[in-house]
Amino acid sequence: MQRIEHIYINGEFVTPHGQEWFDLHNPSTEEVIGQVRLGDAHDAQRAIAAAQAAFPAWSRTTREERVAALRRMHRAVAARKDALMEAILMEYGAPSVRGHWMATYPADVIAQAIDALESFVFEEKTGAATVIQTPVGVAGLITPWNSNAGFICNKLATALAAGCTAVIKPSEMSAMQTQIVAEALHEADLPPGVFNIVNGRGDVVGEEIARNPGIAKISFTGSSAVGQHLVTTGAATMKRVTLELGGKSPTLVLDDADFTAVMPLVLQAGFMNSGQACIAGTRILVPRSRLAEFEQVAKEAVSHIRSGDPRQADTDIGPMVSKKQWERVQNYIRIGQEEGATLLAGGEGRPEGLHAGWFVKPTLFTRANNQMRIAREEIFGPVLTIIPYEDEADAIAIANDTRYGLSALVLGTDPERCARVARQIDAGRVLVNTLVNEPRAPFGGFKHSGLGREMGRWGMSAYLEPKTLLVSAG
Ligand code: NAD
């Protein structure tokens, strides 16, 4: 049983003022596998003070100095890939293919921030003025449990690249990953106070970050409800806010699609990260004229999807992260049936043969409509909803009839038609016949899916204020 007692402030691992111990579970077995001591508002204040003290010097470092620091971070995080993989398996339950990606992504994303920093234009002329991109100050970085190490590294590397210092409030449920990242960052030997990490509850440590005038900017990934709360609370001290929130992303299957050929993409998009992915394609829009054919292909394909022990190589879907999350998903499976949608695969309860662990059957609803709760609300589990549409215009209207707008997938055989449809979808990212990622492109959402963008030069700009300098010629 691992006990994580320290938080990281001003270049040191320190004992928090907070007294509460929080249990960490293995979601595959439900066993308690560790405990983390949580910081409190006092700890958050100390961390913010340390980041404020470090800001003047860090904000004046050169691009080359920051690149060198990020390279050290990259090396130290990359060296801990195996430890991260084990922590991700233990405390999150990601199946091995996903887990491998999640264990390498933290280092990859630091490399991407280095890339963005190397080509970033910090100063440019416009007319008679010089515009200087200036770091905003101390950034408060708040992460969720569904890719904690990756989100810490992405937000921190970008903030530091821009010249900001940071206080990180990681997900309290992912303390093992946080500990590994903290040890790596300590080894990277950055100046004290440049980054600080305070484990703690959202409504305690997160709340202090949202309220404290020493924080200039918040970058948050998590639920839309908490995101909205951060905007409201942060307004009192005029914080800059970047939010990456939830989604109910459409997978739009056009009527010329080859269903057998596209089905692996449909299911991968929906079940990625065991369904606990903000970008998951959870609404599958299918032409009504070919609905029965689609259902047949989908049912057959889902019968080969394995939900179970994440350590087994052929597992596609691991457990839900917590009991609460498992119950939430079960509740939505009941709601879908009560609403009158047809259960095509899966359903309530654990997959056959599993008696412990927060496992969910891969579940497909069909013959749903877009007004049902299972079509409107983010479930965050392996539960997908097939919604029939009449024609292309109807499909686009359904795709856009949502409070969210994070991602979308368009599948069809005519590339021009796919591109035409893709351009009409209101989402931060629209993919056509692919699930590839382009880390140089901005990532974020329309509507309730977020505010602002991360990644590439767009992500860097979110930590900077343009300052216009005009000097008398005379
Ligand atoms: P959550 O909003 O409950 O928690 C996220 C973080 O916010 C945690 O660290 C939590 O402790 C903290 N928090 C909670 N209350 C707070 C408060 N009052 N003030 C400040 N911080 C507070 O979300 P979660 O359950 O950890 O993650 C799942 C959600 O995250 C889903 O809605 C998902 O769609 C979203 N998400 C979005 C993206 C994206 O990039 N758009 C990526 C992953 C997850």
Got the DSSP string for 322-382?
SHHHHHHHHHHHHHHHHTT-EEEE--SSPPTT--SSS----EEEES--TTSHHHHS---SS
Residues 122 and 149 reside in one and the same domain: yes
Residues 142 and 179 reside in one and the same domain: yes
| Residue 444 CA, closest ligand 1 atom number | 41
Detail the DSSP E strand segments found in 144-216: 165-169, 195-197
| Residue 443 CA, closest ligand 1 atom number | 40
CA of 224 to the centre of ligand 1 (A): 8
The predicted pLDDT at position 474 comes to: 78
Residues 335 and 295 reside in one and the same domain: yes
CA of 208 to the centre of ligand 1 (A): 16
CATH number at residue 62: 3.40.605.10
Residue 10 placed within a domain: yes
What angle separates helix 148-162 from helix 81-91, to the nearest 10 degrees?
A: 130
Domain that holds residue 141: 2-245+448-469
Q: Is the CB of 223 under 6 A from ligand 1?
A: yes
172, 244, 295, 378: the catalytic one is 244
Give phi and psi for 27, each to the nearest 5. -70, -15
Task: List beta partners, residue 254.
Answer: none
Residues 272 and 200 reside in one and the same domain: no
**Are β-strands 138-142 and 21-25 bridged in parallel, bridged antiparallel, or unpaired?**
unpaired
Q: Is the CB of 454 under 6 A from ligand 1?
A: no
Closest C-alpha residue for ligand 1 atom 14: 202
Residues 204 and 166 reside in one and the same domain: yes
Q: Is the CB of 137 under 6 A from ligand 1?
A: no
Residue 340 placed within a domain: yes
Residues 238 and 295 reside in one and the same domain: no
Structural domain tally of the chain?
A: 2
| Residue 450 CA, closest ligand 1 atom number | 41
Closest C-alpha residue for ligand 1 atom 20: 206
Rg of the chain over all Cα atoms, to the nearest angstrom: 23
| 98, 142, 324: residue to mutate for ligand 1 pocket, most atoms within 8 A of CB | 142
Residue 280 placed within a domain: yes
CA of 291 to the centre of ligand 1 (A): 36
CA of 221 to the centre of ligand 1 (A): 5
Closest C-alpha residue for ligand 1 atom 28: 222
Name the H helices within 79-171.
81-91, 96-119, 148-162
Active site residue 244: yes
Residues 190 and 271 reside in one and the same domain: no
Closest C-alpha residue for ligand 1 atom 12: 202
Query: Residue-wise pLDDT tens for the chain (474 aa)?
Result: 899 999 999 999 999 999 999 999 999 999 999 999 999 999 999 999 999 999 999 999 999 999 999 999 999 999 999 999 999 999 999 998 899 999 999 999 999 999 999 999 999 999 999 999 999 999 999 999 999 999 999 999 999 999 999 999 999 999 999 999 999 999 999 999 999 999 999 999 999 999 999 999 999 999 999 999 999 999 999 999 999 999 999 999 999 999 999 999 999 999 999 999 999 999 999 999 999 999 999 999 999 999 999 999 999 999 999 999 999 999 999 999 999 999 999 999 999 999 999 999 999 999 999 999 999 999 999 999 999 999 999 999 999 999 999 999 999 999 999 999 999 999 999 999 999 999 999 999 999 999 999 999 999 999 999 999 999 987
Give phi and psi for 370, each to the nearest 5. -75, -5
Neighbours of 82 (CB within 10 A): 10
Q: Is the CB of 202 under 6 A from ligand 1?
A: yes
CA of 223 to the centre of ligand 1 (A): 4
Q: Is the CB of 96 under 6 A from ligand 1?
A: no
Residues 134 and 10 reside in one and the same domain: yes
**Contact between residue 448 and residue 224 where contact means Cβ atoms under 8 Å apart:** yes
Closest C-alpha residue for ligand 1 atom 15: 202
Taking the C-alpha atoms of residue 172 and residue 347, their distance in angstroms, rounded to an integer, is 30
Q: Is the CB of 38 under 6 A from ligand 1?
A: no
Give the count of alpha carbons within 13 A of 132, CB side only. Answer: 10
Residue 335 placed within a domain: yes
Residue 348 placed within a domain: yes
Nearby residues of 267 by Cβ (< 8 Å), 6 or more positions away: 298, 301, 302, 305
Closest C-alpha residue for ligand 1 atom 40: 244
Residues 373 and 234 reside in one and the same domain: no
Residue 474 placed within a domain: no
CA of 451 to the centre of ligand 1 (A): 14
Residues 153 and 104 reside in one and the same domain: yes
Residues 229 and 271 reside in one and the same domain: no
**Burial category of 89 from C-beta neighbours within 10 Å (exposed 0-12, middle 13-18, buried 19 and up):** buried
Residues 233 and 372 reside in one and the same domain: no
CA of 230 to the centre of ligand 1 (A): 11
The predicted pLDDT at position 326 comes to: 98
The predicted pLDDT at position 473 comes to: 84
Torsion of CA 421, 424, 429, 433, to 10 degrees: 0
CA of 222 to the centre of ligand 1 (A): 2
- Classified as helix, coil or strand, 149 is helix
Taking the C-alpha atoms of residue 388 and residue 471, their distance in angstroms, rounded to an integer, is 62
CATH number at residue 385: 3.40.309.10
Residue 83 placed within a domain: yes
Closest C-alpha residue for ligand 1 atom 22: 202
Residue 142 placed within a domain: yes
